[in-house]
Each structure stands twice: as structure tokens, then as C-alpha cells.
């Protein structure tokens, strides 16, 4: 199955870049290639693609730095970071910066493709959300038409994954959701790996939607998962 998408591939590893370039082109993607972090960031700001695949260790400006800057400016562009398999800390830093995926190389092209499809599918589903309504719970509001989130009158900037996670929790408010339920719903059936990823994103979400003067919304249900109430 082909993939119709504009993809920025910014990778300083020539061997890996050549492999992924050929693979993505064969899938039908329209590619823009970079090997320098500053040039990649400039392209992302001037001509945002449908998806960006970034080397976490790009020269002049790393993929992690680019991700952090984009998220700080409110960008919800789907971002996959390519990390070295011997650097667990690099994958953690990529996720902490706001990456949607942090994939350790070497990896199977089938897994890479499945994760690309999942990122694009979730991004497009969000952009074409059919609810056409505001979802409200207490002082939390999500406008699904414009993907706008606010709490107690304050507008919040969420990444694609954070938005999808909050939307899923809100659509199932007052329900105890297992970790498996949430991971499958937000990361898709292709999700594999450590479910600590969910804890990372719950932490991100709490930092953005919860404040000391407000009642907590996302609650941990020990031994099961989470619920929004």
C-alpha cells in the first residue's frame, strides 16, 4: 500500500539516509532531504511537510533541539526521531522534547513503515475530526474542529500525541482505562515496546493541563491504568 505524503528526511548518516530515501520513495512519498539541522529547521518552518523524520544527532542543530523548538512554538507536526540503538538516554530525551516516535536504528523497515502510517493516520484523523463540536468536562474544553484545547480559560498547546491522549481520555471520562486500551487507541495496533511510554506522555499532559490552583483531572488507577474525572 502506497503512502501519499510529503516527508522531510533529515539524516546525517549517509548509509541510513540512502536506505530510507529509497524505501520512502518506493512507497510513494514526496521527499525533501537535508543533512544539516539548521537547514532542516528552516524548511520545517517555511514549508511544513506532512511528517518529519529527523536524525536525533544532526549537526549544527540536533533533531532533539529542532523538536523542542517546534513544540515550544506550538507546532503539532508529526515528528519521528531516529536514535542510536546504544543510546537509551537519547530516546528518552527525544520523547521528553516532544517527539511522537523515537526509533532506535537498526530497525526493520516493516516497523518503520507501520509507524509512519500510524502517525499520518492519526494526524489526518485529527485534522478531519467529524465531531464538529466542543467537548467539555468541568473547566476543560476541546474544540475538535480546530484542535483547540483550553482549561479554566487558558489556551493550551499540545503536541499531536498529547492531544490524541487527552481526547481519548475525555471521550471516555469517568471510565477506568487500562494501559493496553490507551496505548492501542492512541499509538495504534502497531504499537510495540515498553509501556513506560504512556507514563512519559501522561506526565507531559499533566504538566500542561494541571495547575496548583486547579483540581487534578487525570488520575492514576494503581495496577490498572488511568482515568479522567
| Per-residue pLDDT at 190 | 58
How does pLDDT run along the chain (229 residues), one tens digit per residue?
A: 688 889 999 999 999 999 999 999 999 999 999 999 999 999 998 888 999 999 999 999 999 999 999 888 778 889 999 998 777 888 888 988 889 889 999 999 999 999 898 888 877 665 554 445 688 888 999 988 778 899 988 899 888 889 989 999 998 888 899 998 898 888 876 566 666 889 999 999 999 999 888 899 999 999 899 999 9
**For 138, left (φ over 0), alpha (ψ -120 to 50), or beta?**
left
Domain with CATH 3.40.50.2300 in the chain: 6-127
Domain with CATH 1.10.10.10 in the chain: 134-228
| Per-residue pLDDT at 14 | 94
| Per-residue pLDDT at 77 | 87
| Per-residue pLDDT at 153 | 85
How far apart, in Å, are the Cα atoms of 184 and each of 32, 108, 118, 137, 212?
A: 31, 20, 11, 23, 31
Query: Which grid coordinates are listed for 81?
Result: 526521531
CB 166 within 8 A of CB 173: no
Q: Is 138 helix (H, G, I), strand (E, B) or coil?
A: coil
| Per-residue pLDDT at 125 | 62
| Per-residue pLDDT at 130 | 44
CATH number for the domain whose boundaries are 6-127 = 3.40.50.2300
| Per-residue pLDDT at 63 | 96
CATH number for the domain whose boundaries are 134-228 = 1.10.10.10
Residues 58, 82: Cα–Cα separation, whole Å: 10
Helical H runs in the chain? 14-27, 37-46, 63-72, 88-97, 109-127, 160-171, 179-187, 196-209
Amino acid at each position: 500500500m502506497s503512502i501519499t505524503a510529503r516527508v522531510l528526511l533529515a539524516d546525517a548518516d549517509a548509509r541510513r539516509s540512502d536506505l530510507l530515501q529509497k524505501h520512502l520513495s518506493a512507497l510513494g512519498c514526496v521527499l525533501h532531504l537535508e543533512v544539516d539541522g539548521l537547514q532542516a529547521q528552516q524548511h520545517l518552518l517555511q514549508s511544513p511537510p506532512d511528517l518529519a523524520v529527523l536524525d536525533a544527532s544532526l549537526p549544527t542543530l540536533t533533531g532533539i533541539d529542532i523538536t523542542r523548538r517546534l513544540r515550544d512554538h506550538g507546532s503539532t507536526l508529526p515528528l519521528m526521531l531516529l536514535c542510536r540503538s546504544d543510546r537509551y538516554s537519547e530516546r528518552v530525551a527525544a520523547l521528553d522534547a516532544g517527539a511522537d516516535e523515537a526509533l532506535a536504528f537498526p530497525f526493520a523497515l516493516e516497523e518503520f513503515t507501520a509507524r509512519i502510517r500510524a502517525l499520518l493516520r492519526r494526524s489526518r484523523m485529527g485534522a478531519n475530526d467529524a465531531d464538529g463540536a466542543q467537548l467539555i468536562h468541568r473547566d476543560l474544553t476541546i474544540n475538535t474542529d480546530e484542535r483547540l484545547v483550553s482549561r479554566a480559560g487558558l489556551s493550551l498547546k499540545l503536541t499531536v500525541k498529547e492531544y490524541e491522549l487527552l481526547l481519548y481520555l475525555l471521550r471516555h471520562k469517568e471510565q477506568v482505562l487500562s494501559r493496553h486500551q490507551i496505548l492501542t487507541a492512541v499509538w495504534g495496533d502497531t504499537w510495540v515496546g515498553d509501556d513506560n511510554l504512556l507514563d512519559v506522555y501522561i506526565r507531559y499532559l499533566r504538566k500542561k493541563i494541571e495547575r496548583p490552583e486547579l483540581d487534578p483531572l487525570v488520575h492514576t488507577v494503581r495496577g490498572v491504568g488511568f482515568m479522567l474525572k
